């Protein structure tokens, strides 16, 4: 139960990143998988209450989301684009909507010598500051990662999402 790591990396040729940069751990219970139900398209015939044929089609995009409390400016830059002046420790928002795609990997804590690792191969990143700091709350960076197709340069379509039970090394 819970999350022990979230990392991001550069998308490969239809495959997930080979290396990941770890993000700070998210706020408790903020990680959500929003995998959409398919839309039903049915062919009906006169005189029957049951459809002749049903096709299930994707109607919207699957995504995961999570919140990071009090993010560092380099995290804002990686997830939101814009400009980063490391000397001043200053982040400036982008002037246009950024186009950020990364691989993401989420690990659960080790239980019984194993952990579960979820991977989005090619995720479109949408992030925003969703909560201002207050007397009893931190500033929050809400990150939403939309699952996109994992297609090689040769046009071969591969799995866009995986769930793997692994033994940590």
Q: Answer yes or no: are the C-beta atoms of 115 and 166 closer than 8 Å.
A: yes
Length of the chain: 169
Give me the residues paired with residue 144 across strands. Answer: 65, 126
Mean pLDDT, rounded, for 143-150:
97
pLDDT score for 169:
80
pLDDT tens per residue across span 3-24: 999 999 999 999 999 999 999 9
Q: How many domains does the chain have?
A: 1
Range of the structural domain that residue 33 is part of: 5-166
Question: How far, in Å, CA of 69 to CA of 80, rounded?
Answer: 15
- pLDDT(121) > 80: yes
Give me the residues paired with residue 115 across strands. Answer: 166
Mean pLDDT, rounded, for 96-113:
96
What are the b/e assignments for 137-162, b being 16+ CB within 10 Å? eeebbbbbbbbbebeeeeeeebebbe
pLDDT > 90: what percent of the chain? Answer: 89
Question: How far, in Å, CA of 51 to CA of 4, rounded?
Answer: 46
- What CATH number is given to the structural domain containing 86? 2.40.30
- pLDDT(113) > 80: yes
């Amino acid at each position: 139960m819970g999350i022990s790591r979230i990392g991001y990396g550069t998308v490969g040729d239809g495959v997930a990143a080979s290396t990941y940069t770890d993000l700070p751990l998210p706020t408790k219970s903020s990680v959500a998988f929003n995998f959409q139900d398919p839309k039903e398209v049915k062919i009906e015939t006169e005189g029957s209450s049951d459809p002749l044929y049903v096709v299930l089609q994707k109607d919207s995009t699957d995504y995961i989301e999570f919140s990071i409390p009090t993010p560092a400016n380099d995290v804002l830059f990686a997830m939101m684009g814009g400009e980063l002046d490391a000397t001043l420790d200053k982040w400036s928002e982008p002037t246009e909507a950024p186009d950020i795609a990364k691989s993401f990997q989420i690990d659960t804590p080790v239980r019984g010598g194993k952990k579960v690792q979820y991977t989005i191969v090619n995720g479109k990143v949408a992030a925003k500051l969703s909560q201002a700091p207050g007397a009893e709350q931190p500033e929050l960076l809400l990150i939403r990662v939309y699952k996109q197709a994992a297609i090689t340069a040769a046009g071969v379509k591969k799995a866009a999402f995986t769930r793997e039970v692994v033994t940590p090394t």
